């Protein structure tokens, strides 16, 4: 049986009995056991007992649960790092997925930004005759590079909305209570990370966690794109696309202007600057198109209120529909302001905050 949250429903289930309050009547005992094993019992005259049925969800039918998440590798810093207040890497409370492919892609992204900055400073801006152009173009380019880098770091080191590990305990399940009007409630438990599976959450095989409102796992940011870091990922694609377009403009402007200036002709006759400019154009075109497509796909998913993995699995749209402005505010914060474009400002919710921990319930 396929579930709207992804995965298959196994036959393993358990029930927690939670008594309904009745005027003048004592609450019944709370018990937990396997379904059909007599774990729930009533005595004569006892109040009505509503059940919370816990069903385990696995990735595929008959598939064994994967190994538990690896513990985060912590590296102790030397005395030099201690001068800046850093005692260990990653810092305490920092989210970092220890995936070799993801770490390589993230470092490669940083190197591409450094390469673009180097070519712009040493080849384009250093050989420009106009001081006004240098100041304006340099300020815009450096600002876009800084915003791109910080958006990438925030998307990489921010918790995407991971469900706490092993929270599917009897005490937590009992605290959920029953459904409306004393109806039974079905709570789904992930068989891979032993967590209560919230609404619209999916288990990531790389992070080895259930991620709330998971869109996809992006190796370029070495993290999942989920409920809590989708804003930073959208800004990362936006600023990378913007800096790529501006780099193409600066390169073309450099070739056009230097064809008429004697001061630039010696520079263009050298093979190395020409090779660097060609590589910069190639890099800008490739990643500009890629990030433009990703940015459009993210905005479309937000306005459609359907994540990428939900679209891929063709899951039924069973949740409450909202206006487009409410969907944008649920990602970038409330109300609409310039902070939507700032990776330094986390999303703030001043009105009714979105329901981030809504559970599947029947």
- Residue-wise pLDDT for 311-349, tens only, equals 888 877 667 778 888 889 889 988 888 989 999 988 876
Residue-level pLDDT at 57: 65
Residue-level pLDDT at 310: 84
Residue-level pLDDT at 106: 95
For the residues 202-223, what does the mean pLDDT come to?
A: 90
User: What is the span of the domain harbouring residue 306?
Assistant: 109-161+219-334
Inter-CA distances, 146 with 138, 139, 152, 248, 304, Å: 12, 11, 10, 18, 30
CA-closest candidate to residue 207, choices 292, 308, 101, 123? 101
Residue 28's pLDDT band (boundaries 50, 70, 90)? very low
* CB-CB contact of 185 with 361 (8 Å): yes
Residue 212 has pLDDT above 80, yes or no: yes
Outline where the chain has alpha helix (H).
79-82, 100-119, 131-157, 170-175, 230-258, 265-269, 271-304, 308-312, 324-332
* CB-CB contact of 107 with 115 (8 Å): no
Inter-CA distances, 52 with 12, 17, 40, 175, 176, Å: 14, 6, 11, 10, 9
232/253 Cα distance (integer angstroms)? 31
Q: Residue 222: what are its φ and ψ, rounded to 5°?
A: 50, 45
Residue-level pLDDT at 107: 95
Torsion of CA 277, 278, 280, 283, to 10 degrees: 180
Residue-level pLDDT at 290: 96
* CB-CB contact of 277 with 119 (8 Å): yes
DSSP3 helix / strand / coil % (the chain, rounded to 5): 45, 15, 40
Residue-level pLDDT at 184: 66
Q: Determine which of 68-77, 129-138, 178-187 has the lowest per-residue pLDDT on average.
A: 68-77
Q: Please tell me whether residue 25 adopts helix, strand or coil conformation.
A: strand
Q: Determine which of 27-31, 179-183, 262-266 has the lowest per-residue pLDDT on average.
A: 27-31
Q: Taking all residues of the chain, what is their mean pLDDT, rounded to a whole number?
A: 74
Residue 194 has pLDDT above 90, yes or no: no
Inter-CA distances, 335 with 238, 286, 330, Å: 20, 35, 10
Total domain count, the chain: 1
Residue 296 lies in a domain: yes
* CB-CB contact of 7 with 55 (8 Å): no
Q: How many CB atoms within 10 Å of residue 271?
A: 8
65/58 Cα distance (integer angstroms)? 7
The percentage of residues in the chain with a pLDDT greater than 90, rounded to a whole number, is: 32
The percentage of residues in the chain with a pLDDT greater than 70, rounded to a whole number, is: 64
Residue 155 lies in a domain: yes
304/296 Cα distance (integer angstroms)? 12
Residue 122 lies in a domain: yes
Q: Determine which of 160-164, 262-266, 284-288 has the lowest per-residue pLDDT on average.
A: 262-266
CA-closest candidate to residue 335, choices 346, 351, 324? 351
Give tens-digit pLDDT for 12-25: 444 444 433 333 33
Joined tokens for residue 346: 């986390």
What residues are paired with 14 via a beta bridge?
34, 54
Residue 53's pLDDT band (boundaries 50, 70, 90)? low
Residue-level pLDDT at 27: 32
Q: Residue 351: what are its φ and ψ, rounded to 5°?
A: -95, -135
Residue 169 lies in a domain: no
Residue 136 lies in a domain: yes
Residue 205 lies in a domain: no
Q: Residue 231: what are its φ and ψ, rounded to 5°?
A: -60, -45
Q: What strands, in cross-sheet order, belong to the sheet with 32-34?
A: 32-34, 8-19, 49-58, 185-190
Residue 350's pLDDT band (boundaries 50, 70, 90)? low
pTM to 2 decimals? 0.75
Residue 221's pLDDT band (boundaries 50, 70, 90)? very high
Crossing angle of helices 131-157/100-119, nearest 10°? 170
Averaging pLDDT over each range in 247-261, 280-294, 308-322, 347-361, which range is the top one? 280-294
Residue 271's pLDDT band (boundaries 50, 70, 90)? confident
**Catalytic: 77?**
no
Residue 22 vs residue 117, higher pLDDT: 117
Q: Determine which of 47-56, 162-171, 226-235, 305-314 has the lowest per-residue pLDDT on average.
A: 47-56
Crossing angle of helices 324-332/230-258, nearest 10°? 90
Q: For tokens 């070519």, what's the residue? A: 119
Calculate Rg over the CA atoms of the chain. 27
Specify the DSSP element, H or E, that contains 304: helix 271-304
Residue-level pLDDT at 83: 57
One of 178, 210, 218, 264 is an active-site residue; which one?
218
For the residues 295-318, what does the mean pLDDT come to?
A: 86
Residue 127 lies in a domain: yes
* DSSP secondary structure letters along 54-89: EEEEESSTTPPPPPPPPPPP-EE--HHHHTTT--EE
Residue 157 lies in a domain: yes
Q: How many CB atoms within 10 Å of residue 328?
A: 17
Residue 206 has pLDDT above 50, yes or no: yes
CA-closest candidate to residue 198, choices 216, 211, 182? 211
């Amino acid at each position: 049986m396929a579930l709207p949250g992804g995965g298959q429903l196994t036959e393993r289930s358990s029930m927690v009995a939670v008594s309904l309050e009745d005027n003048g009547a004592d609450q019944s005992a709370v018990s937990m056991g396997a379904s059909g094993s007599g774990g729930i019992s009533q005595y004569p005259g006892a109040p009505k007992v509503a059940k919370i049925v816990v069903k385990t969800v696995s990735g595929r039918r008959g598939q064994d649960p994967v190994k538990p998440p690896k513990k985060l590798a912590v590296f102790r810093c030397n005395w030099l790092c201690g001068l800046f207040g850093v005692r260990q890497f990653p810092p305490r409370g920092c989210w970092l997925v220890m995936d070799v492919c993801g770490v390589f892609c993230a470092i490669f992204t940083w190197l591409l930004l450094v390469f673009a900055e180097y070519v712009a400073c040493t080849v384009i801006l250093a050989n420009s005759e106009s001081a006004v152009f240098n100041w304006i173009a340099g300020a815009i380019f450096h600002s876009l590079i800084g915003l791109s880098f910080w958006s990438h770091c925030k998307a990489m080191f921010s918790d995407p909305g991971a469900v706490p590990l092993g929270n599917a305990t009897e005490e937590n399940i009992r605290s959920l209570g029953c459904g409306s009007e004393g109806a039974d409630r079905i709570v789904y438990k992930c068989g891979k990370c032993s967590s209560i599976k919230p609404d619209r959450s999916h288990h990531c095989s790389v992070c080895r966690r259930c991620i709330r409102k998971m869109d996809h796992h992006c190796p370029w940011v070495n993290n999942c794109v989920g409920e809590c870091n989708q804003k930073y990922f959208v800004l990362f694609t936006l600023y990378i696309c913007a800096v790529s377009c501006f780099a193409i403009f600066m390169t073309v402007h450099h070739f056009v202007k230097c064809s008429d200036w004697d001061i630039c002709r010696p520079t263009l006759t050298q093979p190395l600057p020409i090779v660097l400019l060609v590589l910069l154009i190639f890099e800008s075109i490739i990643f500009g198109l890629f990030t433009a497509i990703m940015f459009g796909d993210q905005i479309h998913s937000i306005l459609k209120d359907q994540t990428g993995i939900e679209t891929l699995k063709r899951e039924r749209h069973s949740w409450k529909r909202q206006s487009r402005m409410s969907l944008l505010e649920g990602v970038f914060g409330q109300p609409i302001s310039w902070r939507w474009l700032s990776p330094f400002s986390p999303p703030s919710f001043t009105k009714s905050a979105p329901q981030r921990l809504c559970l599947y319930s029947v």
